[in-house]
Amino acid sequence: MLTNLLAIGPELVLTLTVVLVLIADLVIGDRPARRGSLAVLSFAGLAAAAATFFLLPDGGPAAFGGLVSGDGLGVFFRGLFLVAAFFGVAFGALSDEIPVERFGEYAAMLLATTLGMSFLVQSQNLLMILLSLELVSLPSYVLAGFRRGDSRSSEAALKYVLYGAAASGLMLYGFSLLYGMAGTLDLSAIGPALNAKAAGGSVGIRAGIALAALLSLAGFGYKVAAVPFHQWCPDVYEGAPTPVTAFLSVGPKAAGVAALIRFVVIGFGASVATPPAGGLPWPVLLGVLAMATMTLGNLAAIPQDNVKRLLAYSSIAHAGYLLMGIAVGTPDAVQAVAVYLPIYLLMNLGAFLAVMAVRAKTGSETIADYRGLVARSPALSIALAIFLFSLTGLPPLAGFIGKFYLFAAVVKAGTPFFYVLAIVGVLNSVVSLFYYARLVKAMFLEASPDGAPAVLVPVPVGLLLAILAIPTLVLGLWWSPLADLAARAAGIVG
């Protein structure tokens, strides 16, 4: 019993924090320190949750009769989500887009989303996957619509809800078919059961498994914003308040990627090294999805004038790169995905923080208003340039290391299809340089428009920018600690 509770210690602390923040929000009332004290309470909760990692049972046994897994993958991502939540709360506390009287609700919703992500990555059971996905989604909808009275924010929330409900419905239908055919909800038992069925089964059985798997894929595809489930992404990212966009672009996306790894690689046992699981060619299927996702994301990003929209398409492209890793499915590839996501978190959060700082002074998110930013705010411009070049994957920045691990894993797969996939990925990185560099060119090489305001960065924002930019630089040169952690997540070393 105690082992079970200790295994979900971080989640218990997070739940408690959500409730405490809501109560504190009521108790504190209109005092001037409202925003600060609620933020400190949230940080304390996150720190306490992080501390309970040391109490996790040794060896990572499955808890609650196999409903949740205690493996390295789950522990790695749960830690990552605490970091994402820290930045999410901090961004919200520093942004004027989150009104002070609603900051408590913002923090509570954000922490509830984090709780859902945390359960999602360790779910070893279809029922738990579905429930935790809903726990990620429901507060996300609320966060996307947080700027009430702003029609774009409301539109974003509504689109998010409608797409989310449809995707959840499709996934639930897929899960029910899987349950019907495999007779179990347990992920570790579904793969073997379906393999047995597909091996001796008729065409009808194989078609049924394929349908169920594709429908289930819809739910994960929606969370990571993969083509063809990406249409909500640009509108939601543009309409939602910037701190929310920043959080949504890293948190739920990483959770979706991790859950997809668990579903496909651990559940179905799919990888290039093994025969098709459940009669489905997972590597090729996901590889094609990856190609479509990164190509569409990068091409659609080129003509964008709104920076948040541009970053939305860029995040779709990055989902494509990550799908490549899941398609390969070997421990090396899982390690590559686990290296990529923390780096992606740093550089994407950094880019959105810079956008937030510019918006706070100019009230604008269009590229035209970034012209000549270097003269008005040199440090901010340099930081943003670092994040953008890292997102492109240029050495010696961290983004290069992330991409290097991913492409290495893809090439190591060694089949002609994966060579093509790697080439498509490299070409896409070249395309992405075009639109990232367009923003950098506007900042550094073009003259400021007349009367453009100086962008003074407040000290806490500058501090956060540094916290995000320095690892982006350092990890590009000294990445072995991260690679070791990722290897542990992928189960390569105990």
Partner 1 sequence: MTDPIVSAMVFYALAAFTLVAAGFVALSGNIVHSAFALFATLFGVAGLYAYLSADLLAVVQMLVYVGGISVLVLFAVMLTSGLDGPLTSNPTFRLGGGIVLMLAVAAAAFVAATAVPSGVESAAVPTTAAIGDALLGAYVLPFEVVSVVLLAALVGAVTLARGYKGGHR
Q: Which residues bind partner 1 (CB under 8 A)?
A: 8, 15, 18, 22, 30, 64-65, 67-68, 101-102, 105, 108-109, 112, 115-116, 119, 125, 127-128, 131-132, 134-135, 138-139, 141-142, 145-146, 148-149, 157
Q: Produce one character per residue of 402-430: b if its CB has 16 or more CB atoms within 10 Å, e if not.
A: bbbbbbebbeebeeebbeebbebbeebbe
We find the least distance from the C-beta atom of residue 131 to partner 1, in angstroms, to be: 5
Closest separation between CB of residue 116 and partner 1, Å?
8
Q: How many CB atoms lie within 10 A of CB 189?
A: 16
- Residue number with CB closer to partner 1 (8 or 316): 8
What is the spatial distance between Cα 272 and Cα 328, in angstroms, rounded to a whole number? 6
- What's the rounded Cα separation, in Å, for the pair 334 and 322? 10
Cα–Cα distance measured from residue 42 to residue 30, given in angstroms and rounded to the nearest whole number: 18
The residue among 134 and 446 lying less far from partner 1, judged by its C-beta, is 134
- CA quadruple 316, 289, 490, 410: dihedral sign: negative
Provide the minimum distance between the beta carbon of 338 and partner 1 in the complex, in angstroms, as a whole number.
Answer: 25
Q: Which is nearer to partner 1, 45 or 471 (CB)?
A: 45
Compute CA distances 215 → 58, 203, 210, 355, whole Å.
36, 18, 9, 36
CA 142 to each of CA 145, 201, 238, 256: distance values in angstroms, whole numbers, following the listed order: 5, 45, 15, 19
What does the radius of gyration of the chain's CA atoms come to, in whole angstroms? Answer: 22
Please identify, using beta-carbon distances, which residue of 15 and 37 lies nearer to partner 1. 15
Nearer to partner 1, 109 or 265 (CB): 109
State the Cα–Cα distance between residues 282 and 443, nearest whole angstrom. 43
Q: How far is the CB of 238 from partner 1 (least distance, A)?
A: 19
Q: Which of 475-486 are b and which e, b meaning 16 or more Cβ less than 10 Å from the residue's Cβ? A: bbeebeebbebb
> Which among 342, 381, 383, 347 is positioned nearest to 466, based on CA atoms?
383
- Compute the least distance from the CB of residue 118 to partner 1, in Å: 11
d(CA 268, CA 277): 6
If phi > 0 it is left, if psi is from -120 to 50 it is alpha, else beta; for residue 125 that is beta
Residue nearer to partner 1 on the CB measure, 29 or 416:
29
Q: How far is the CB of 112 from partner 1 (least distance, A)?
A: 4
In the complex with partner 1, which residue's Cβ is closer, 120 or 326? Answer: 120
Q: How far is the CB of 103 from partner 1 (least distance, A)?
A: 11
Question: What is the smallest separation between the CB atom of 437 and partner 1, expressed in angstroms?
Answer: 39
Residue at 276: amino acid letter = P
- Phi first, then psi: give them for residue 30, nearest 5 degrees: -95, 15
Cα 356 to Cα 1, 240, 243, 347, 352, distances in angstroms: 45, 12, 7, 14, 6
Strand, helix or coil at 304? coil
Which one, 67 or 85, has the nearer CB to partner 1? Answer: 67
For partner 1, the closer of residues 81 and 389 by Cβ is: 81
Shortest distance (Å) from residue 64 CB to partner 1: 4
CA torsion 158-163-167-172 (nearest 10°) is 30
Choice between 52 and 448, CB closer to partner 1: 52
**Residue placing its CB nearer to partner 1 in the complex, 186 or 235:** 186
CB of 256 to partner 1, least distance (A): 17
Minimum Å distance from CB 367 to partner 1? 31
